[in-house]
Each structure stands twice: as C-alpha cells, then as structure tokens.
Amino acid sequence: MTGTSRGLGLDLVRQLLERGDSVAATTRSSERLLGALGEGVDTSRLLPLTVDLRDEAQVKQAVVKTTERFGGLDVVVNNAGYGFLAAVEETTDRDVRDMLDVQVAGVWNVLRATLPILREQRGGHVVNVSSVLGLVSVPGWALYCAGKYALEGLSEALAAEVADFGINVTIVEPGYFRTDFLTQDSLALPAATTDHYPGIREMVDNHLNLQGSQLGDPVKGAAAIIDRVVAGEGPLRQVLGSDSHAYATSKVQALQANLDATAQSAPATDFPATA
Ligand SMILES: NC(=O)c1ccc[n+]([C@@H]2O[C@H](COP(=O)([O-])OP(=O)(O)OC[C@H]3O[C@@H](n4cnc5c(N)ncnc54)[C@H](OP(=O)(O)O)[C@@H]3O)[C@@H](O)[C@H]2O)c1
C-alpha cells in the first residue's frame, strides 16, 4: 500500500494490523508512519518501506522485500496522492510533471512490479484510490483531476486486461474526507498566481477553511475499502460518501445530456455504410 503515514492510508494500515493482516506500507517517511501508529498498535506484521514512488528501482525493491517477508502479495493499494489548486495557466510544467509522476507514473511503477506476482498466482485485488474528481472536473482542480482521470482510465483498461487472471480491480472515489488532504502539509499551491482568477483564490481559501468539517470519516472510509476487498469481485467503482455520489450522479446526467445533444451530429463524420 502506498501513501501510508497520514489520512486514509494510515487508517487502512491501522485497521489491517488490528485485523491481523500483514501490511507492506510504503511512505516517504517510515519514521512518520511509525510515529503516527503509536505505541498501541501491534506492528509485528508491518513492513514499513521508505520509497520514492517515482523511482521504479525503489518500487521494485520494495515489492521484493514484501514477498521475501510475507511470502506473497494479495492486495495492492495505490493510495498516495495530493491536491494542487491553481488555474490552468498558473500551473507550471514542473507542477504538471510532479503530479503525474506521483499519481500516474508512480502507480504504473507499482503495477509493473506487482501484476506479474498476482498474475502468476492467478488472483489478487488492485485498489486504486481515485476521487470523485476522477469523474468530475471543476475550476482550480485541473491538474489534480488530470491525474485522477488518468488513473481512472488506466484502471478501467487494467480491470478488463486482468479479469481472466482472477485479479479484481476497484477504483475508489471518495468525496471530501477529514484527512490531512486539505491541510498545508498535503495540499500544494502554485509558486505564483495571477490576479485574473479571484474565484479560484476564494475557492482555495474556502477549502483551507473546510479542514475539520469534511463529511467523510476516514475510519469508515478505510473500513469500507477493506470490506470491499474482502467481499471480492464487485462494481468497478466504489464511491465513498454521499457528496461523492451526488457529484458523480450530476456528472452522469450532464454527460447524458451532452450525448443526447450530439446524437444527430456525431454520425455525420462516418464513411457511408458499404453494401
Ligand atoms: N481526503 C479527501 O478529501 C480525498 C478526496 C478524494 C480523494 N482522496 C484521495 O485519497 C488518497 C489519500 O489521501 P488522504 O485524504 O488520506 O490525504 P492525506 O492525509 O494528505 O494523505 C495522503 C497520503 O498520500 C501520500 N502523498 C502525498 N503526497 C505525496 C507525494 N508527493 N509523493 C508520494 N506520496 C504522497 C502521503 O504519503 P507519505 O507522506 O506517507 O509518503 C500521505 O500518506 C489520495 O490519493 C487522495 O487524492 C482524498
């Protein structure tokens, strides 16, 4: 599992250890992870791994250590992620590459290292933590959404590719959850802004002030993810939170209206049917 020293990932680690499961937990800081778990948690089945997800060799090494320690791998959870709030034109090339390195290339590194193991054993579960913003895109969130949309695209293809090997794929789409996500520790902001997007500045302030009042309970979120994996095969997408469900439903309705509006014009580019 990736991204484990805070938030949803930390709650997942805690609950899995309490259940008696073995957990390989990657983080940028094992020290922070162990500190956050505290004294009360039995860590004898925990393998903390300090890994830079952008580094394929480090990811591979972490998977080798995991299989050496636990003798196999049942579930892979790609959870690491962070928000970035800026207008599209305020987002630098570095910002884009950093986000996609973590949310797309990093996930791909994990999948390349773990899928052969799941495939060989003909079973397993991949859980990719996306967001409702992997389905819905809103002003100021373009880069985050680009990363999560990419994650959704790769996950959908993956699910169909690996189904015959007995591997399940679940895309998790949380709404607002009361983790560290909206704190200055997690959320990234642009180095420079323009005066042209007062609405985005207001949105950023509102989001920083949301901390502590988000609807989603991460303890319940982690439990829901565990239940979903234990239950095995299920819907490809697991929406978490009534806010997420409402946003996703609106998106589906808007998409349907858009499809209806282009139903006449779309076929105009087809070659004529041949007899
Ligand atoms: N909370 C929400 O409202 C919400 C909503 C929808 C989706 N999500 C998604 O849920 C997942 C978990 O987020 P959270 O809510 O638990 O937030 P969080 O409390 O900020 O935790 C995020 C985790 O992701 C890892 N991470 C953050 N930036 C990273 C980077 N640059 N490189 C590598 N790892 C990084 C961190 O791992 P380490 O520090 O241990 O390395 C951290 O444990 C993320 O994918 C997030 O996008 C959250």
Q: Which residues contact 240 (CB under 8 A, 6 or more apart)?
A: 172, 173, 174, 175, 177, 216, 221, 224, 225
pTM: 0.97
Give the residue, out of 78, 179, 238, 247, with the most ligand 1 atoms within 8 A of its beta carbon, to mutate for a pocket test. 179
Answer yes or no: are the C-beta atoms of 138 and 209 closer than 8 Å. Answer: no
Q: What is the mean pLDDT of each run of 10 residues along the chain (275 residues)?
A: 98 98 98 95 97 98 98 97 98 98 98 98 97 98 98 98 98 98 95 97 95 96 96 94 98 98 97 89
Instruction: Say if ligand 1 is within 6 A of residue 102 CB.
Output: yes
- Answer yes or no: is the C-beta of 1 below 6 A from any ligand 1 atom: no
Closest among 215, 220, 213, 212 to 246, alpha carbons compared: 215
Residues 6+ apart with CB under 8 A from 254: none
Ligand 1 pocket check for 200: Cβ under 6 Å: no
User: Is 44 among the residues known to form the active site?
Assistant: no
Q: Residue 257's pLDDT is what? A: 98
Tokens describing residue 29: 């800081």
By alpha-carbon position, which residue is closest to atom 23 of ligand 1?
A: 3
Task: Indicate which atom in ligand 1 lies nearest the CA of residue 186.
Answer: 20
Residue 266 alpha carbon to ligand 1 centre in Å: 39
pLDDT value at position 233?
A: 87
Cβ distance 222 to 155 under 8 Å? no
Between CA 190 and CA 90 the distance in angstroms is 7
Q: By alpha-carbon position, which residue is closest to atom 17 of ligand 1? A: 181
* Residues recorded for the chain: 275
Distance 122 CA to ligand 1 centre (A): 30
Catalytic residue of the set 131, 148, 176, 244 = 148
C-alpha torsion sign, points 176, 125, 51, 147:
negative
pLDDT at res. 275: 78
Q: What is the pLDDT of residue 201?
A: 97
Q: Which atom of ligand 1 is nearest to the CA of 185?
A: 20
Of 30, 131, 144, 176, the active-site residue reads: 144
Instruction: Locate the ligand 1 atom nearest the alpha carbon of residue 98 and give its number.
Output: 31
Q: Is 236 helix (H, G, I), strand (E, B) or coil?
A: coil
177 lines ligand 1 (CB under 6 A): yes
Answer yes or no: are the C-beta atoms of 90 and 13 closer than 8 Å.
no
Looking at domain 53-249, what is its CATH homologous superfamily? Answer: NAD(P)-binding Rossmann-like Domain (3.40.50.720)
- Report the chain's terminal Cα–Cα distance, integer Å: 54
